[in-house]
Amino acid sequence: MTLAPARAGRQVITALIDEVTVESIATEAWIALVGEDEVLVPLAGDLPAETLSAWVDVVGPWTGSVVLTTGRQTAADLTRALLREAAPELLDHEDVVDAFGEIANVVGGNVKASLPGPSTLGLPQVGAAPAVRNPEDVCRLGVLWRGQPLVVSVQGALPPLPSPHTPNENPHQNGASL
Amino acid sequence: MKILVADDSRVMRQIVIRTLRQAGYDDHDIVEAEDGRDAYDKVQAENPDLVLSDWNMPNMTGLECLQALRSSGSAVPFGFVTSEGSADMREKAADAGALFLIAKPFTEETFRENLDGVIA
């Protein structure tokens, strides 16, 4: 059997969504929110030292976060692109939190829609990215926007699944959601 | 005509208002609300002709706002503009009395398709 994740009734994200789908969702969000001519180039780049993340949590049969991470300057540029003529000369951190969080909200909402339900979506959060709990439960897409790197990570919030010989601590054999 | 735009994101409220204008609905009064509770209060105070509301908001969700409005006897035309457009949510929205659900990301064409006939 190769269906180890299904043994505990829970699938890892790579069994549920692929990078192409995530890229398609992100591209559509960019065109609608950032601008019609704003393309995402599917090339991974090295993130700068100073990054900012925006994410929403998904809770359901698959539980985790949809996390966007980019350089702080790129997050500010994205904010200006969303605000367009309404962008102030000096951006507040609140503006960046609002705009970057809303992009994560739209991308996350559409990722959630492509996952098995029912599940719920949390409110957007902005800050340092939540830690990857299980490297096997991650779908990671690296893109370039205006030449700057941005990462979309759909990552599980739960620890790695127990090995077959470990006593099962999960009372929900079928992965029942609360 | 008066349109109430409810979203906890100021940026998204601006995008919704901008898209309304791009879709040709540029001659209406806009009232903004920053969550479902604020939207509920402003429907009572401002008596809008249409509510465009996000779903997922703090204090009171868009769905709770709609349900509270209907319970209070308000029949204000109400549509959702939300990042989630699953069949389940569309059904919940319709059951609660929403006219439509526009999923984000949206375009001005999506707005026209849903709002023609609702906005004079």
The ranges of chain B with pLDDT < 70 are: 120
Domain locations in chain B? Answer: 2-115
User: pLDDT, tens digit, for every residue of A23-35?
Assistant: 999 999 999 899 8
Token representation of residue A41 = 């180039």
Digit-coded pLDDT (tens) for A3-55: 444 445 689 999 999 999 999 999 999 998 998 889 999 999 999 999 999 99
Mutate to test the interface with B, among A59, A110, A112 (most CBs of B within 10 A): A110
Contact A121 B83 (CB under 8 A): yes
Task: Please state the length of chain B.
Answer: 120
Q: B99 exposed, middle or buried (CB, 10 Å; 0-12, 13-18, 19+)?
A: middle
Residue A169 has pLDDT above 50, yes or no: no
SS3 letters across A127-145: ECCCCCCCCCCEEEEEEEE
Phi, psi (degrees; rounded to nearest 5) at A118: -80, 145
Pick the CATH number of A4-156 from 3.30.830.10, 3.40.1550.10, 3.10.20.580, 3.10.129.10: 3.40.1550.10
Chain segment A64-86, per-residue pLDDT in tens: 999 999 999 999 999 999 998 88
* Residue pairs between chains A and B whose CB atoms are closer than 8 Å: 62
Model confidence pLDDT, tens digit, residues B97-106: 999 999 998 9
d(CA A139, CA A153) in angstroms, rounded, equals 6
Please answer whether residues B23 and B112 qualify as being in contact, where contact means their C-beta atoms are separated by less than 8 angstroms.
yes
- What's the pLDDT band for A170 if we cut at 50, 70, 90? very low
Q: Which residues pair with A78 in a beta bridge?
A: none
> Cβ of B84 and A113 within 8 Å?
yes
Q: Is B79 exposed, middle or buried (0-12, 13-18, 19+ CB in 10 A)?
A: buried
- The interaxial angle of helices B10-22 and B108-115, nearest 10 deg, is 70
Please give the ipTM for the structure prediction: 0.85
Q: Is there a contact between A108 and B83 if contact means CB atoms under 8 Å apart?
A: yes
**A162/chain B closest Cα distance in angstroms:** 32
Q: For B1-78, where are the alpha helices, taking DSSP H only?
A: 10-22, 36-46, 62-71
- CATH number for region B2-115: 3.40.50.2300
Residue A177 has pLDDT above 90, yes or no: no
Q: Are A36 and A28 in contact (CB under 8 A)?
A: no
Q: In Å, how far is A28's CA from the nearest CA of chain B?
A: 7
> What are A9's two structure tokens?
């009734």
Q: Which residues of B touch A79 (CB under 8 A)?
A: 11
CA distance A174 to A172: 5
Does A123 sit within 8 Å of B12, measured CB to CB? no
B88 CB within 8 Å of a chain A CB: yes
Q: Which residue of A has its CA nearest to B85?
A: A113
Residue A111 is predicted with a pLDDT of 96
pLDDT band at A141 (very low <50, low <70, confident <90, very high): very high
